[in-house]
Chain A
Amino acid sequence: MAKSLLFPEFKIERDSNRCISCQVCVRQCANDVHTYDQEDDTVTSKEEQCVGCQRCVTLCPTNALQVDTKKTGFRPNASWSIQHLRNLYKQSETGGVLLTGMGCDQPYRIYWDHLLLNASQVTNPSIDPLREPIELKTFLGAKEEMLDIDWNHDFPVVKTKLAPQLELNLPIVFSAMSYGSISYNAFRSFVEAAREVGTYCNSGEGGLHPDFYPYGNNIIVQVASGRFGVHRDYLQVASAVEIKIGQGAKPGIGGHLPGEKVSSDVSRTRKIPEGSDAISPAPHHDIYSIEDLQRLIYAIKESIHYEKPVSVKIAAVHNVAPIASGVIRAGADIVAIDGIRGGTGAAPLVIRDNVGIPIELALAQVDERLRQEGIRHRASLVIAGGIRSSADVIKAIALGADAVYIGTSALVALGCHLCQKCYTGKCNWGIATQDPYLTKRLNPNIGKRHLVNLMRAWAFEIKEMLGGMGVNSIQSLRGNKEHLRAVGLTREEMQILGVKPAGEGW
């Protein structure tokens, strides 16, 4: 076979003075980059196969390895980037749709980085979270417009029965990542962390492994177009059910789980044959209109006896505000919106990088639209797609979100290095794989601890920022755009975000 035109993406440098030929790198690499030559007692590397996951670099006991992006000798060309050339070579050799993993990595404007937060000075004292309570408690679900209260008692009695709510200790939920796309140990890390932190984790569309049923009080289960693993117990064990219409990484198409990752356990959980690709249809084949969505929402509500909220997840697309409004009018208690930078275990590259809009703009528009229509209280807004820090969380809340989903940040806490090869099933970090040799690398106890630590750290930071703004409940920041100011944005962008330019006072 002719040598491929595909050039290596990474350059592997091995310091021979440091390398002790211990072969850790050889054993750690699922892509078979490193080979040990017994005769010479040396380790050689095939750069063509390296995905840049940094596993070998991290585990090398003598720090002998360095993996860098490889500088190519191509003549610089502003139009024909290296990435374009690479994709052309790859497609001409394979004739297939290019796959990728994780969220869009293209340099579209990240609006979080153009928003600045406020702090109190003099006229309004800042509040010290070390000395005063600051509340992050969040409830997700439909809210009544007003309460029916019987005042003719010694103490007033609320007669209204509140719509079912999810109660969160902080406004962060672990995003939908299915068992199959991630490993059992990764899934276990999430459910256990969610329980300890007092929040929820979303099962994704891959069903729920029987081991996780006891964690139902902290799990939101998903019903997607593939209906994998959906049955009565699955719906009833969860705290909420989410209908997945769209995903930010691949709006307009359904989920992908390559057959390589469908192990026997995954096949049992998903109710599909082992080794078969699990490709969800692009639309739900029982939802061709908003009325159909309404029917599915109520079918699910019936099956869970109206005791738990039903969420609908949509991707942030051009007309997202009216879509969200329609979804709420169809009966959703929570609307989850996933922006263009939302992650995935597998998606066509061209879709991930070119379809959808940034979540910041979608969020601001949806929140404003729902308020104009007077239906903002009828559903909670949870947003997803590129939440990288506690600052992003708090900015999202100020822009109008009730809570955020985090996927990528949580995976990074588990060890992910964003090599974007989740779809290969060869995740060297034991996260996005089902290979038992690889999955055991992720200890769920340590994974859980890392996730809990991350949530704890973010909660502290959010409290510090809230206190600085003179706000002691996150409820008072929700949709409070007065605490945001924009730098370096155009007038139109600020108008869409509903945020004033930095420098302008109240």
Chain B
Amino acid sequence: MREDQQYRIPSGCAVVGILNQDGTRISGESIIRSIAVMHERSNGLGGGFVGYGIYPQYADYYAFHILYDHRQAVPVTEDILRKECDIVFEEDIPFLETREVYNHPYLKRYFLRIKREFPNEDDEIVRLVMKINSSIDGAYVISSGKNMGIFKGVGYPEDIGRFFRLDEYEAYCWISHGRFPTNSVGWWGGAHPFGLLSWSVVHNGEISSYGINRRYLQNFDYICNLQTDTEVIAYLVDLLVRKHGIRIPYLGAVLASPFWHEIECMPEPGKTFYRSLRIIYGGALLNGPFSIIVGFDGGMFGLVDRIKLRPMIAAWKEETFYLASEESAIREIAPDLDLIRPLRAGEVISGQVGERAHHGQKLTVSRV
């Protein structure tokens, strides 16, 4: 890992997500328009997108997007991939050379199938991603889920979107991020979204509990080597949801838990529930200012910190669910909304394909 990649870079940011709960796939054009409205929330040092449902022809294979700092890393990485997986299809990620985006790394994508049978293929993929990212100099797996892909780089998000020709992809869920890092390290792998398996996380904020979250994750064999807050959030979500079975609407109870004085006043069984989660998952509590959008296979959710130090607003228009840092970003692409309301501190608002849009009426929220 390069010297300038070993630092954790706190950042402020713009985030936006669009989810069509009826499963309709739309091109990346509208998300680019939406994030462009929040141009002033980024500073040109990072932008990125994630689209879910973009690879229907390879939906059963793990889609790896790998970013190579130099070509020497390619054969080493591909050796590792071939050892563990069949590469069903591979190609350079298509891009459009533009004036705004330059000095880009070599970008390649692979569609993989694990060779041997494992009780849990996802765990093997996580292990493979960690292995490549931590052991190969100059190769970074930035996306590793099925039927989804992360596209990110150094530049303003709208420029990055055009660079990757996102108008040519169709997804039922798009999430985007514009970055305002507080130092000048510009590294493509450090941009958001951050992904692991089908999880993708975009994040506006800084996690002041980073040190302990990272050490807590070590207990469960997650190695945080990208030194970004966002990486920690992605691993925590993976651990809590995939391994510990916490339901997404209740993630706020762990990641941005209610205060003890609030818990004391709750009726049972809520009291025991929140109290137990706080006692057991103290190391997973995220502190500091943040608003995050997390995408997953079939949906997305938004969450803000315990005392709402960063903005996030949710909106619904028919079967489309929006989350964004600013209302303007949503109004840009959907001027007439059925309902719009800000997220409360510690609240999870989620939407999934297949369930009817909630329109904010019957929300499962983590705060009572």
- Could you tell me if B182 and A123 are in contact, using CB atoms closer than 8 angstroms? yes
Q: Does A283 contact B (CB under 8 A)?
A: no
- Could you tell me if A137 and B287 are in contact, using CB atoms closer than 8 angstroms? no
A67 to B: closest C-beta gap in Å: 47
Q: A124-B10, A157-B269 are in contact. Are A478 and B276 (CB under 8 A)?
A: no
Beta-carbon contacts under 8 Å, A119-139 to B = 120, 122-125, 127, 132-133, 135, 137, 139
- Could you tell me if B283 and A470 are in contact, using CB atoms closer than 8 angstroms? no
- Could you tell me if B307 and A478 are in contact, using CB atoms closer than 8 angstroms? no
Mask, B241-276, CB within 8 Å of A = 1, is: 001111100100000000111000000011011001
Smallest Cβ-Cβ distance to B6: which chain A residue: A506
- Could you tell me if B210 and A482 are in contact, using CB atoms closer than 8 angstroms? yes
Beta-carbon contacts under 8 Å, A470-495 to B = 470-473, 475-483
- Could you tell me if B246 and A149 are in contact, using CB atoms closer than 8 angstroms? yes
> How many angstroms from the CA of A471 to the CA of B272 in the assembled complex?
24
A-B CB contacts (within 8 Å), total count: 130
- Could you tell me if A506 and B279 are in contact, using CB atoms closer than 8 angstroms? no
- Could you tell me if B212 and A124 are in contact, using CB atoms closer than 8 angstroms? no
B355 to A: closest C-beta gap in Å: 16
- Could you tell me if A479 and B206 are in contact, using CB atoms closer than 8 angstroms? no
Instruction: Specify the main secondary structure of chain A where it touches its partner.
Output: loop
- Could you tell me if A481 and B273 are in contact, using CB atoms closer than 8 angstroms? no
- Could you tell me if A483 and B273 are in contact, using CB atoms closer than 8 angstroms? no
Beta-carbon contacts under 8 Å, B114-152 to A = none
A180 to B: closest C-beta gap in Å: 36
A241 to B: closest C-beta gap in Å: 20
- Could you tell me if A146 and B280 are in contact, using CB atoms closer than 8 angstroms? yes
> How many angstroms from the CA of A278 to the CA of B267 in the assembled complex?
51
> How many angstroms from the CA of A144 to the CA of B281 in the assembled complex?
9
Mask, A135-163, CB within 8 Å of B = 1, is: 10101000111110101010111101010
> How many angstroms from the CA of A160 to the CA of B261 in the assembled complex?
23
B305 to A: closest C-beta gap in Å: 9
- Could you tell me if A120 and B208 are in contact, using CB atoms closer than 8 angstroms? yes
Q: Does B342 contact A (CB under 8 A)?
A: no
Beta-carbon contacts under 8 Å, B201-252 to A = 205-206, 208-212, 215-216, 218-220, 227, 243-247, 250
- Could you tell me if B219 and A506 are in contact, using CB atoms closer than 8 angstroms? no
- Could you tell me if B10 and A471 are in contact, using CB atoms closer than 8 angstroms? no
A377 to B: closest C-beta gap in Å: 7
- Could you tell me if B279 and A139 are in contact, using CB atoms closer than 8 angstroms? yes
B246 to A: closest C-beta gap in Å: 7
Give the size of the chain B interface in residues (CB under 8 angstroms). 48
- Could you tell me if A480 and B7 are in contact, using CB atoms closer than 8 angstroms? no
A474 to B: closest C-beta gap in Å: 9
> How many angstroms from the CA of A271 to the CA of B286 in the assembled complex?
51
- Could you tell me if A133 and B283 are in contact, using CB atoms closer than 8 angstroms? no
- Could you tell me if B273 and A478 are in contact, using CB atoms closer than 8 angstroms? no
- Could you tell me if B219 and A371 are in contact, using CB atoms closer than 8 angstroms? yes
- Could you tell me if B7 and A505 are in contact, using CB atoms closer than 8 angstroms? yes
A465 to B: closest C-beta gap in Å: 12
CB-CB under 8 A from A476, the residues of chain B are 208-209, 212, 285-288
- Could you tell me if B282 and A478 are in contact, using CB atoms closer than 8 angstroms? yes
Q: A149-B246, A476-B285, A506-B9 are in contact. Are A471 and B307 (CB under 8 A)?
A: no
> How many angstroms from the CA of A125 to the CA of B288 in the assembled complex?
8
- Could you tell me if B273 and A123 are in contact, using CB atoms closer than 8 angstroms? no
Mask, A356-390, CB within 8 Å of B = 1, is: 00000000000000011010110000000000000
> How many angstroms from the CA of A165 to the CA of B276 in the assembled complex?
11
Q: Does A223 contact B (CB under 8 A)?
A: no
Beta-carbon contacts under 8 Å, B131-180 to A = none
- Could you tell me if B289 and A470 are in contact, using CB atoms closer than 8 angstroms? yes
- Could you tell me if B247 and A151 are in contact, using CB atoms closer than 8 angstroms? yes
- Could you tell me if B215 and A479 are in contact, using CB atoms closer than 8 angstroms? yes
Q: Does B189 contact A (CB under 8 A)?
A: no
- Could you tell me if A155 and B270 are in contact, using CB atoms closer than 8 angstroms? yes
CB-CB under 8 A from B250, the residues of chain A are 156
- Could you tell me if A480 and B227 are in contact, using CB atoms closer than 8 angstroms? no
Q: A475-B283, A476-B212 are in contact. Are A158 and B272 (CB under 8 A)?
A: yes
- Could you tell me if A470 and B287 are in contact, using CB atoms closer than 8 angstroms? yes
- Could you tell me if A480 and B273 are in contact, using CB atoms closer than 8 angstroms? no
- Could you tell me if B273 and A156 are in contact, using CB atoms closer than 8 angstroms? yes
A483 to B: closest C-beta gap in Å: 6
- Could you tell me if A147 and B11 are in contact, using CB atoms closer than 8 angstroms? no
Q: Does A324 contact B (CB under 8 A)?
A: no
Q: Does A60 contact B (CB under 8 A)?
A: no
Q: Does B306 contact A (CB under 8 A)?
A: yes
- Could you tell me if A158 and B211 are in contact, using CB atoms closer than 8 angstroms? no
Q: A120-B208, A125-B309, A469-B208 are in contact. Are A149 and B215 (CB under 8 A)?
A: no
Q: Does B12 contact A (CB under 8 A)?
A: yes
Q: A147-B277, A374-B219, A471-B208 are in contact. Are A506 and B8 (CB under 8 A)?
A: yes
Q: A123-B182, A155-B270, A158-B276 are in contact. Are A149 and B208 (CB under 8 A)?
A: no
Choose from B11, B182, B261, B309 the contact partner of A133 (Cβ within 8 Å).
B261
- Could you tell me if A123 and B208 are in contact, using CB atoms closer than 8 angstroms? no
Choose from B218, B280, B306 the contact partner of A143 (Cβ within 8 Å).
B280
Q: A149-B246, A158-B276 are in contact. Are A472 and B307 (CB under 8 A)?
A: yes
A167 to B: closest C-beta gap in Å: 9
Q: A122-B182, A469-B208 are in contact. Are A149 and B245 (CB under 8 A)?
A: yes
- Could you tell me if A480 and B209 are in contact, using CB atoms closer than 8 angstroms? yes
> How many angstroms from the CA of A123 to the CA of B245 in the assembled complex?
33
- Could you tell me if A125 and B289 are in contact, using CB atoms closer than 8 angstroms? yes
- Could you tell me if B288 and A470 are in contact, using CB atoms closer than 8 angstroms? yes
A381 to B: closest C-beta gap in Å: 13
> How many angstroms from the CA of A271 to the CA of B227 in the assembled complex?
59
- Could you tell me if B10 and A371 are in contact, using CB atoms closer than 8 angstroms? no
> How many angstroms from the CA of A73 to the CA of B280 in the assembled complex?
62
- Could you tell me if B272 and A123 are in contact, using CB atoms closer than 8 angstroms? no
CB-CB under 8 A from A124, the residues of chain B are 10, 205-206, 208, 288-289
CB-CB under 8 A from B260, the residues of chain A are 135, 137
Max chain A Cβ within 10 angstroms of own Cβ: one of B10, B12, B247: B10
Max chain A Cβ within 10 angstroms of own Cβ: one of B208, B243, B260, B270: B208
> How many angstroms from the CA of A149 to the CA of B219 in the assembled complex?
21
CB-CB under 8 A from A371, the residues of chain B are 215, 218-219
Mask, B6-38, CB within 8 Å of A = 1, is: 011111100000000000000000000000000
Max chain A Cβ within 10 angstroms of own Cβ: one of B243, B259, B282: B282
B183 to A: closest C-beta gap in Å: 8
> How many angstroms from the CA of A137 to the CA of B261 in the assembled complex?
10
- Could you tell me if A123 and B206 are in contact, using CB atoms closer than 8 angstroms? yes
- Could you tell me if B273 and A158 are in contact, using CB atoms closer than 8 angstroms? yes
A378 to B: closest C-beta gap in Å: 11
- Could you tell me if A155 and B273 are in contact, using CB atoms closer than 8 angstroms? yes
> How many angstroms from the CA of A125 to the CA of B273 in the assembled complex?
30
> How many angstroms from the CA of A135 to the CA of B261 in the assembled complex?
9
> How many angstroms from the CA of A123 to the CA of B8 in the assembled complex?
13
> How many angstroms from the CA of A473 to the CA of B216 in the assembled complex?
16
> How many angstroms from the CA of A193 to the CA of B306 in the assembled complex?
32
Mask, A307-327, CB within 8 Å of B = 1, is: 000000000000000000000
A sample of 19 inter-chain contacts (CB < 8 A) reads A124-B288, A125-B309, A135-B259, A144-B280, A145-B280, A146-B243, A149-B246, A158-B277, A162-B279, A377-B219, A377-B280, A470-B208, A470-B288, A476-B212, A476-B285, A476-B286, A479-B216, A483-B211, A506-B210
Among all A-B residue pairs, the 7 with the closest Cβ atoms: A482-B211, A476-B209, A506-B8, A476-B287, A480-B211, A475-B282, A480-B212
**Further contacts, 13 of them, CB under 8 A, given A124-B206, A157-B269:** A127-B307, A155-B269, A156-B269, A157-B272, A158-B276, A372-B218, A377-B219, A472-B306, A476-B212, A477-B212, A480-B210, A506-B8, A506-B210
